[in-house]
Structure 1
Amino acid sequence: MKSYAYHIETCGEERNSYSKTDHDATFMRLKRDYMGNDQLLPAYNLQAAICDEYIAVIDVKPYASDMECFVPLMEKFNRTYGHYPKYPVADAGYGSYNNYLYCEEHGMEKYMKFTMYKKETTDKKYHENPYRAVNFAKDADGNLLCPNGRKFLFKRTQHVKYNKYGRTEELYECESCEGCQHKQECCPRAHKNRTIRMNQELTAIHQEVLQNLESIHGALLRMNRSIQSEGTFGVLKWDKAYKRLLRRGEKNVILELTLISCGFNLYKYHNKKQRQTKVA
Structure 2
Amino acid sequence: MYMGVVKKTSIQRSIETLEKYLNKLKEYTQKLYICGKRNSYSKTDKDATFMKMKEDAMKNDQLKPAYNVQHGVNSEYIVWLTIGAKPTDTTMLIPFIKSMENFLYFKYFKITADAGYESEENYVYVKENGQLSYIKPSNYEISKTRKYKNDISRIGNMEYNKFGDYYTCKNNKKLTVNRIIKRKSRTGYVSEKTIYTCEDCSNCEYKSKCIKGHNSKTPLEERTKNLETSKLFNMLHKENLERIISEEGCELRMNRSIQAEGSFGEIKQDVGFRRFLSKGKRNVLSESILLAMAHNINKLHNKIQSDRTETHLFLLKKMPNFEILKTF
- Give the TM-score, by structure 2 length: 0.79
Contact 2:120 2:232 in 1 (8 A): no
Shift of the 138–102 alpha-carbon distance from structure 1 to 2, 3 Å rule, reads closer
Paired residue type of 1:88: I
For the 8 Å contact 1:32–1:38, the answer to whether it is kept is no
Q: What is the RMSD of the two structures over their aligned residues, measured on CA atoms?
A: 1.9
Q: Residues 47-96 of structure 1, C-alpha deviation per residue, up to 9 Å, x if partnerless? A: 00011011101111000110111112111221221233111111100011
Confirm or deny: 8 A CA contact 2:153 2:212 kept in the other structure: no
In the alignment, which of 73, 77, 83 is matched to residue 100 of structure 2?
77
1:188 is displaced (CA, Å) by 5.0
User: Any unmatched runs of 5+ in structure 1?
Assistant: none
- Kept after mapping to 1: 8 A contact 2:268/2:274: yes
Look up the match of 1:237.
Answer: 268
Residue of structure 1 equivalent to 2:12: none
The amino acid across from 1:169 in the alignment is K
Is the 8 Å Cα contact of residues 111 and 135 (structure 2) preserved in structure 1? yes
Is 1:99 the counterpart of 2:130? The answer is: no
Q: For the residues of structure 2 that align with 1:78 and 1:188, how far apart are their CA atoms? A: 44
Query: If you compute each CA radius of gyration, which structure gives the higher value, 1 or 2?
Result: 2
The alignment of Structure 1 onto Structure 2 pairs a total of residues equal to 275
1:183 counterpart = 2:207? yes
SS in 2 for 1:155: strand
Q: Which sections of structure 2, spanning at least 5 residues, go unmatched?
A: 1-24, 215-219, 309-328
Residue 89 of structure 2: aligned partner: 66
Matched, 1:126 2:185: no
In structure 2, the residue matched to 1:219 is 250
Identity %: 35
Measured after TM superposition, the shift of residue 126 of structure 1 is 1.8
Seen in structure 2, the aligned counterparts of structure 1 residues 33 and 87 have a Cα distance that, compared at 3 Å, is same
Please give the secondary structure, in 1, of the residue aligned with 2:116: coil
Shift in Å, 1:165? 3.6
Letter in 2 for 1:176: D
Find the counterpart in structure 1 of residue 182 from structure 2: 159
CA deviation string 1:192-234 (max 9, x = no partner): 1111101111111111111000000000001111111111111
Contact 2:109 2:131 in 1 (8 A): yes
Displacement of 1:189 in angstroms is 4.1
| Corresponding letter in the other structure for 2:47 | D
CA contact (8 A) 1:53 1:268 kept: yes
Q: The residue matched to 2:81 in structure 1 has which SS?
A: strand
Q: Structure 1 length normalisation: TM-score?
A: 0.92
Q: Is contact 1:77-1:83 (8 Å) kept?
A: no
Given the alignment, which residue of 100, 125, 135 partners 1:112? 135
Call closer, same or farther: CA 1:232–1:188 in 2, change over 3 Å: closer
Q: Matched residue of 2:112: which SS?
A: coil
Match of 1:276 among 297, 307, 318: 307
How far apart are the structure 1 equivalents of 2:246 and 2:97?
Answer: 24
Change (3 A) 1:115 1:11: same
Contact 1:152 1:175 in 2 (8 A): yes
| SS of match in other structure, 1:167 | strand
CA distance in 2, matches of 1:87, 1:138: 31
